[in-house]
């Protein structure tokens, strides 16, 4: 497994990212990465600075984005993340989507605080707001604050997030999954574009569309995976920090069956995901991944 390819990371243009694009790319060089992609949440604006820094440091760079989207089958609804590689960093549809999502995130921040308070956790709102990025509060910020507040030390709901617990590897993120994700008690609904529209947005911007970390969003579900494939994705993020060996094997088999690209990415954020590091996710055939991505992006008039 080679570790010089990382196609999934976040800068401070993501509400939960720590480092500015330039600093992030510098850290990529320090981690001996050669080919990278900045895929901020619903945001493409950080790609310009990141691309400039990558050029200075001799790193190969794919402008990218991670779009939040939904897949509704009528009898169930799932939230997914779609990665777009080689997209035009000035694409108007992507910029409009970013503004829409950002405004919704601002609007729901106070409601998220209220719902978590209703669960009985103790924390100071001002401390959480001090962490806000561009006026947005995310569950990870609240979880981090709650875990630091001694008033919650005896709360059994948090024992797995403490040192040595089953979920202590990335406590703030695991807090989000347990209390604030779809179907959980503090979940606040937002209106995201459909999975089909997300694919079209990426392709219209010249990019290649890749399903991000499906094991997180739906476990090992071949039925749904095949339905998403029929909508026109180009690849699946098989090699992810969130996929164990069994999950990687499951999705690699699907990728091979449908001749898709098996990409890899760390989903590095910085302090909100402390156990995730740049340059740690391997891929057995990174050269092939890069070659196929470039071919698709070239055909669609994208950028790399």
Give the per-residue pLDDT at 66: 98
- In SS3 terms, 73-93 reads as CCCCEEEEEEEEECCCCCCHH
CA–CA–CA angle 98, 102, 104 (5° rounding): 120
Task: Select from 3.40.50.10140, 1.10.357.10, 3.20.20.140, 3.40.50.300 the CATH code of 5-89+191-300.
Answer: 3.20.20.140
- Give the start-to-end residue ranges of the domains of the chain: 5-89+191-300, 102-179
Give the per-residue pLDDT at 108: 95
Kindly report whether the global pTM for this prediction surpasses the value 0.85: yes
Give the per-residue pLDDT at 169: 87
By residue count, the chain amounts to 304
Rounded to whole angstroms, the Cα distance separating 254 from 265 reads: 18
Reading the chain (304 residues) residue by residue, the pLDDT tens digits are 999 999 999 999 998 999 999 999 999 999 999 999 999 999 999 999 999 999 999 999 999 999 999 998 776 789 999 999 999 999 999 999 999 999 999 999 999 999 999 999 999 999 999 999 889 999 999 999 999 999 999 999 999 999 999 999 889 989 999 999 989 999 999 999 999 999 999 999 999 999 999 999 999 999 999 999 999 999 999 999 999 999 999 999 999 999 999 999 999 999 888 889 999 999 999 999 999 999 999 999 999 9
Residue position matching structure tokens 């962490």:
131
Contact, 172 vs 102, CB < 8 A? no
CA–CA–CA angle 268, 272, 278 (5° rounding): 20
Rounded to whole angstroms, the Cα distance separating 98 from 195 reads: 15
Give the per-residue pLDDT at 38: 98
Give the per-residue pLDDT at 251: 98
Rounded to whole angstroms, the Cα distance separating 17 from 201 reads: 23
Rounded to whole angstroms, the Cα distance separating 59 from 68 reads: 27
């Amino acid at each position: 497994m080679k570790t010089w390819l990382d196609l999934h990371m976040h800068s401070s243009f993501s509400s939960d990212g720590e480092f500015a694009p330039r600093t992030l790319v510098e850290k990529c060089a320090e981690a001996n990465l050669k080919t990278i992609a900045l895929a901020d949440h619903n945001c493409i604006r950080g790609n310009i600075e990141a691309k400039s820094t990558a050029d200075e440091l001799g790193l190969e760079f794919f402008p990218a984005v991670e779009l939040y989207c939904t897949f509704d089958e009528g009898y169930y609804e799932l939230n997914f993340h779609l990665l777009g590689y080689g997209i035009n960093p000035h694409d108007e549809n992507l910029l409009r989507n970013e503004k829409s999502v950002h405004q919704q995130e601002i609007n729901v921040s106070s409601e998220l605080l209220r719902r978590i308070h209703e669960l009985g956790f103790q924390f100071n709102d001002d401390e959480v707001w001090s962490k806000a990025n561009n006026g947005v509060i995310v569950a990870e910020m609240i979880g981090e604050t709650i875990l630091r507040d001694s008033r919650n030390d005896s709360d059994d709901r948090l024992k797995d997030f403490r040192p040595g617990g089953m979920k202590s590897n990335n406590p703030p993120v695991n807090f989000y999954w347990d209390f604030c994700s779809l179907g959980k008690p503090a979940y606040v609904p937002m209106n995201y574009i459909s999975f089909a529209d997300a694919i079209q947005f990426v392709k219209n911007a010249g990019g290649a569309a890749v399903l991000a970390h499906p094991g997180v969003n739906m476990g090992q579900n071949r039925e749904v995976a095949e339905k998403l494939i029929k909508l026109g994705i180009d690849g699946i993020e098989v090699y992810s920090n969130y996929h164990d060996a069994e999950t990687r094997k499951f999705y690699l088999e699907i990728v091979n069956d449908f001749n898709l690209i098996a990409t890899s990415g760390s989903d590095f954020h910085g302090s909100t995901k402390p156990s995730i590091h740049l340059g740690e996710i391997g891929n057995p055939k990174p050269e092939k991944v890069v070659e196929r991505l470039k071919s698709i992006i070239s055909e669609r008039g994208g950028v790399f």
